[in-house]
C-alpha cells in the first residue's frame, strides 16, 4: 500500500495512492498517528479504498508523508564509492548525524539555498520509516519494526557540514529534507537491500547505485540506533548515499538557483525539487 499526505484544497489529508489516484481516508490524525495505529487501521483503510472515489494525483499537492517525525537520523559514509570519493576510510563504527525535523520538505517543493550557505549538494537515499517502537532491537528482528520506505534527498550545505566536526547544522537547513512522494508499506518492498536509486540534476545522472552496496545494512542500522535510544513510530532513517555527489566532482559543482534535482528509488517513486535562492 502507498500512503500519502496530500492537500486537495481542504487542508492536509491522509490517502492511499493507487493507479494515479489518491483515495482520501476518514482518519482524524496525521501519518504518525496512522502508523501508530496501523494494526487496527490496516483493514479499515483497505475497505475505504474499495468503497470511495479517488482523486487524480495531478490535481492535488503532495505533502511530506511525515510532516514532523520525532527523530530524523542519517548515516554517513555507507557506500564504498562515496567513501572513496570522500577520501576517507571505511568506518569501523556506524557514523550517525541528525537532521532537524524543521528541515522536512514536500516531495516536489522548492529547496532553499540560504544567503550565507551557498555550497548546497544533493544525496539521494532510501529512507526507512519506523513502525513499531522498540529499544535494543536485534538485527534479526529489525524488519518487524519498519513500517515502510520512501525516497529522500539528504540535501547538505558542505561549508557548514565540514567547518566543524559536527555535521548536523550543515544537514539541517530549512527545506533540506525532501521526502516522499509517499510511504510504500514494507510488505510491498520484499527486499529493501536490492533497490536501484538515482539522482539527476537538470536531467544529468549524477548518482546511480543499488542498496545492495550498503556497508551497514538497514537491519544493522536499526540494531545500532536502538541500542542508544528508543525508536518510535514515524522516525525516519536515511540509510546512506552512493558516490557521485557534487562536492566530489573535479572541479566541485554545487547546486544553483534554477537547478532541478530529481531523486528516484525503484518501486518507491521519485521526488523532484527546484533550487531557489533565499530572498
Better-predicted residue by pLDDT, 179 or 49: 179
Asked if the model's pLDDT at residue 104 lies above 90, the reply is yes
As a whole number, the mean pLDDT across the chain is 97
Asked if the model's pLDDT at residue 28 lies above 90, the reply is no
Question: In the prediction, which pLDDT does 51 show?
Answer: 81
Q: CA-CA distance, 109 to 111, in Å (whole number)?
A: 7
Asked if the model's pLDDT at residue 52 lies above 90, the reply is no
Rounded mean pLDDT, 5-23: 96
Rounded mean pLDDT, 227-252: 98
> What domains are defined for the chain?
2-62 (no CATH), 72-277 (3.90.850.10)
Grade residue 222 by pLDDT with cuts at 50, 70 and 90. very high
Question: In the prediction, which pLDDT does 218 show?
Answer: 98
* 96: its cell numbers: 550517525
* 45: its cell numbers: 483503510
Burial class (CB in 10 A: 0-12, 13-18, 19+), 55: middle
Question: In the prediction, which pLDDT does 81 show?
Answer: 95
Does residue 251 have a cis bond before it (omega within 30 degrees)?
Answer: yes
Asked if the model's pLDDT at residue 159 lies above 90, the reply is yes
Grade residue 98 by pLDDT with cuts at 50, 70 and 90. very high
Q: Which residues contact 101 (CB under 8 A, 6 or more apart)?
A: 68, 69, 70, 71, 72
Rounded mean pLDDT, 185-202: 98
* 16: its cell numbers: 492511499
* 206: its cell numbers: 549524477
Asked if the model's pLDDT at residue 237 lies above 90, the reply is yes
Proportion of the chain above pLDDT 90, given as a percent:
96
Grade residue 50 by pLDDT with cuts at 50, 70 and 90. confident
Question: In the prediction, which pLDDT does 270 show?
Answer: 98
Q: Which residues contact 112 (CB under 8 A, 6 or more apart)?
A: 173, 174, 175, 176, 276, 277, 278
Question: In the prediction, which pLDDT does 27 show?
Answer: 87
Q: Is the pTM of this model over 0.85?
A: yes
Amino acid at each position: 500500500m502507498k500512503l500519502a499526505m496530500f492537500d486537495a484544497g481542504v487542508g492536509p489529508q491522509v490517502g492511499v495512492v493507487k493507479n494515479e489516484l489518491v483515495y482520501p481516508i476518514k482518519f482524524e490524525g496525521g501519518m504518525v498517528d496512522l502508523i501508530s495505529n496501523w494494526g487496527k487501521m490496516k483493514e479499515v483503510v483497505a475497505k475505504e479504498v474499495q468503497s470511495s472515489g479517488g482523486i487524480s494525483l495531478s490535481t492535488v499537492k503532495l505533502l511530506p508523508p511525515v510532516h514532523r517525525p520525532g527523530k530524523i537520523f542519517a548515516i554517513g559514509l555507507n557506500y564504498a564509492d562515496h567513501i572513496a570519493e570522500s577520501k576517507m576510510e571505511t568506518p569501523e563504527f556506524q557514523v550517525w548525524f541528525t537532521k532537524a525535523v524543521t528541515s522536512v520538505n514536500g516531495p516536489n517543493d522548492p529547496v532553499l539555498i540560504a544567503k550565507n550557505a551557498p555550497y548546497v549538494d544533493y544525496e539521494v537515499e532510501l529512507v526507512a520509516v519506523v513502525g513499531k517502537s522498540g529499544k535494543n532491537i536485534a538485527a534479526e528482528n529489525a524488519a518487524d519494526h519498519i513500517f515502510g520506505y520512501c525516497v529522500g534527498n539528504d540535501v547538505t550545505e558542505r561549508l557548514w557540514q565540514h567547518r566543524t566536526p559536527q555535521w548536523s547544522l550543515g544537514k539541517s537547513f530549512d527545506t533540506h529534507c525532501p521526502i516522499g512522494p509517499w510511504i510504500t508499506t514494507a510488505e510491498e518492498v520484499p527486499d529493501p537491500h536490492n533497490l536501484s536509486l538515482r539522482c539527476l540534476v537538470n536531467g544529468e545522472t549524477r548518482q546511480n547505485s543499488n542498496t545492495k552496496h550498503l556497508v551497514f545494512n538497514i537491519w544493522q542500522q536499526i540494531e545500532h540506533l536502538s541500542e542508544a535510544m528508543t525508536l518510535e513510530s514515524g522516525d525516519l532513517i536515511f540509510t546512506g548515499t552512493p558516490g557521485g555527489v557534487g562536492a566530489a566532482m573535479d572541479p566541485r559543482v554545487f547546486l544553483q538557483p534554477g537547478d532541478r534535482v530529481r531523486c528516484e528509488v525503484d518501486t518507491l517513486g521519485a521526488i523532484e525539487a527546484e533550487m531557489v535562492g533565499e530572498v
